[in-house]
Amino acid sequence: MKRPNILFIMSDDHAAHGMSCYGSVINQTPNIDRIADEGMLLENCFCVNSICAPSRATILTGKHGHLNGIKTLDDRFDGRQQTFPKLLQRAGYQTAIVGKWHLGEGGHSSPTGFDYWNVLPGQGDYDNPVMINNGEERQYQGYVTDIITDLCLDWLKERDPEKPFLLLCHHKAPHRPWIPSSTHASLYEDVDIPLPETFNDDYANRSRAAAEARMRIECDFNYLDLKLEPPAGASLWDSIVAPEDLSGFSLRPQDSQEAVTFRSHQELKEWMYQRYIKDYLRCIASIDDNVGRMLDFLDEEGLAQDTIVIYTSDQGFFLGDHGWYDKRFMYEESLRMPFVVRYPREIEGGSRHGAMALNVDFAETFLDYGGLDIPEDMQGASLRPIFQGDTPDGWRTSMYYRYWMHLAHHYVAAHYGMRTERYKLIYYYGEALGTAGSIDEPKQPEWELFDLQEDPLEMNNIYHDPHYAELVEELKQELYRLKEEALDFE
Ligand code: CA
């Protein structure tokens, strides 16, 4: 059988609950939904470490961060190692990556295994971005999401139609600082976006780690995030610190002459949420448009039948949930990856699957479709049978997670944990363990246990409830089994 083309579209920080096919109540994503309508939506796809570079390295290698060398944002990716694009390239695929690479923070690391690569340096810019085209820097005029799509389409038009292709289209959006295109700048201007149910979470009966995290809507944004004029002496990157007493405290949007004053902290928090979430959703509107352009191109070229199209994101994100933005925690909003896939030759339209899928499975899946054997040192499994609507015997019913970057950036403590279909056990071990970028500030270790059936919003830590003592022991045994299986001995 002819080997399928693979178009893998991945955005940065797009949470599943910001997609209408996942039931979003805050936005519509008609083009992404089209992939789900004509293919399959995975209901339980999770990342094994909810942060950019580690998720990207795991996707490329089919391995957890401690084996591919990317445990934190500050590690350097060794491009000499085995990746799925390299293996497909060697097997005759034409390979390309366009957009966000973000595996060079710990030292320069160019993409390997691609015939064509054109990537943003570091985080890249939203407007008129510089990109590195096979080693050469060039500035492009326009909006980053449109440019990445244009470059993908250009490459597709020039490819050899006799050979199958692998194209990784990696969007920068909707990553912080959430700068929308001019096309969508006034979307949602006259509406209030509904608040999430846990918006006013007070972190009672939870870990100290949750209470201490610095990603709160009311006080942890900076002026650039919300496009506000910084007060004298502050920079755009300075955090907004809301004072106890709001009298005399005001904020001025960069596009306005009028400052806004607040009567209560709740009012301030809700105002900041609207500033944040509207820009976030505007960035997603551009992505959705551009996903539509890619799908249209496949239709026009007669490629839709023979091309696997995936839309996903490197991890989830807090959209005001628990009063937060950002990710890192093993909580559902951050752990869950959106994942929709279309391949008319094998996947039934409008189907959904609840099997537990992980980003560590993606490489294996692509190799399977490319007709290659899956190397034994890869740690996941091909999702192809899942896509076909089956659940293979012995498919995983629990998964292992680890966030290594102790207290860096948003003061989120390092932790590892496991999730079953019903329960989630998290251990904040309280140490940096010498990992790159971590802050060497020991914390008292602590545990959390959630019953996702009774408490899907994870508001009630039942770890200390004696009623669950036996369950805790069982889950701990499973956690240690998973940790060992993942070859994580730290
Ligand atoms: Ca990300």
Would you place residue 325 in the very low, low, confident or very high pLDDT band (cuts 50, 70, 90)? Answer: very high
What are the helix and strand counts (H, E) for the chain?
12, 17
The arithmetic mean of pLDDT across residues 169-183, rounded, is 98
Tell me the CA–centroid distance for residue 43 and ligand 1, in Å.
Answer: 20
Long-range CB contact pairs, 420-423, < 8 A, 24+: 420/475, 420/478, 421/44, 421/356, 421/397, 421/452, 422/451, 422/452, 422/453, 423/449, 423/450, 423/451, 423/452, 423/471, 423/475
Distance 14 CA to ligand 1 centre (A): 8
Summarize pLDDT for 351-398 with one digit per residue, the tens.
999 999 999 999 999 999 999 999 999 999 999 999 999 999 999 999
| C-alpha span between 172 and 190 (Å, rounded) | 27
CA of 115 to the centre of ligand 1 (A): 25
Mean pLDDT, to the nearest integer, of 295-307? 98
| Residue type for position 247 | S
pLDDT for the residue numbered 2: 87
State yes or no: pLDDT of 260 exceeds 80: yes
Indicate whether 1 pLDDT > 90.
no
- CA of 55 from ligand 1 middle (Å) equals 8
Residue 107 above 60 pLDDT?
Answer: no
60: CA distance to ligand 1 center in Å? 15
The C-alpha angle 487, 78, 100, rounded to 5 degrees, equals: 105
Tell how far the Cα of 317 is from the centroid of ligand 1, in angstroms. 8
CA–CA separation, 269 vs 263, rounded Å? 11
Contacts of 91 (CB under 8 A, 6+ apart): 370, 371, 372
Token readout for 297 is 């191109």
Average pLDDT, the chain: 97
Task: Give the predicted TM-score (pTM) of the model.
Answer: 0.98
Ligand 1 centroid to Cα of residue 264, in Å, is 33
How much is the average pLDDT of 438-445? 97
pLDDT band at 109 (very low <50, low <70, confident <90, very high): confident
DSSP string across 281-347: HHHHHHHHHHHHHHHHHHHHTT-GGGEEEEEEESS---SSGGGB----SSSHHHHBPPEEEE-TTTS
Ligand 1 centre distance from Cα of residue 152 (Å): 20
Distance 175 CA to ligand 1 centre (A): 7
Q: How many A from CA of 313 to the centre of ligand 1?
A: 7
Helix, strand or coil, per DSSP, at residue 82: coil
**41, β-bridge pairs:** 340, 352
Cα–ligand 1 centroid distance for 262 (angstroms): 32
d(CA 437, CA 128): 30
Task: Using pLDDT thresholds of 50, 70 and 90, give the confidence band for residue 208.
Answer: very high
pLDDT in tens, 139-175: 999 999 999 999 999 999 999 999 999 999 999 999 9
216-243 mean pLDDT? 94
Q: Give pLDDT, residue 108.
A: 63
Centre of ligand 1 from the C-alpha of residue 294, in Å: 22
Q: 107 alpha carbon to ligand 1 midpoint, in Å?
A: 19
Q: Sorting pLDDT into bands at 50, 70 and 90, what band is 457?
A: very high
The residue assigned the tokens 């939870």 is 206
Distance 315 CA to ligand 1 centre (A): 6
Comparing C-alpha atoms, which of 407, 398, 400 is closest to residue 328?
A: 407
The rounded Å distance from CA 336 to ligand 1 centre is 12
pLDDT band at 349; cut points 50, 70, 90: very high
Could you list which residues have their CB under 5 Å from ion ligand 1? 12-13, 52, 314
CA-wise closest residue to 57 among 362, 487, 413: 362
Per-residue pLDDT, averaged over 76-103, amounts to: 96
User: Which token pair is 346?
Assistant: 């094998």
Tell me the CA–centroid distance for residue 100 and ligand 1, in Å: 10
* 29-42: pLDDT as tens digits: 999 999 999 999 99
State the distance from the centre of ligand 1 to the C-alpha of 11, rounded, in angstroms. Answer: 8
**Domains in the chain with CATH codes:** 5-180+283-390 (3.40.720.10), 400-485 (3.30.1120.10)
What is the whole-number distance in angstroms between the Cα of residue 145 and the centre of ligand 1? 15
Q: Note the pLDDT of residue 105.
A: 56
Q: How far is the CA of 373 from the centre of ligand 1 (A)?
A: 30
Per-residue pLDDT for 474 more than 60?
yes
What tens digit of pLDDT does each residue of 245-257 get? 999 899 999 999 9
Query: ∠ at Cα 356 (474, 411), nearest 5°?
Result: 75
Task: Evaluate if residue 301 carries a pLDDT over 80.
Answer: yes
Cα of 447 to ligand 1 centre, how many Å?
Answer: 26
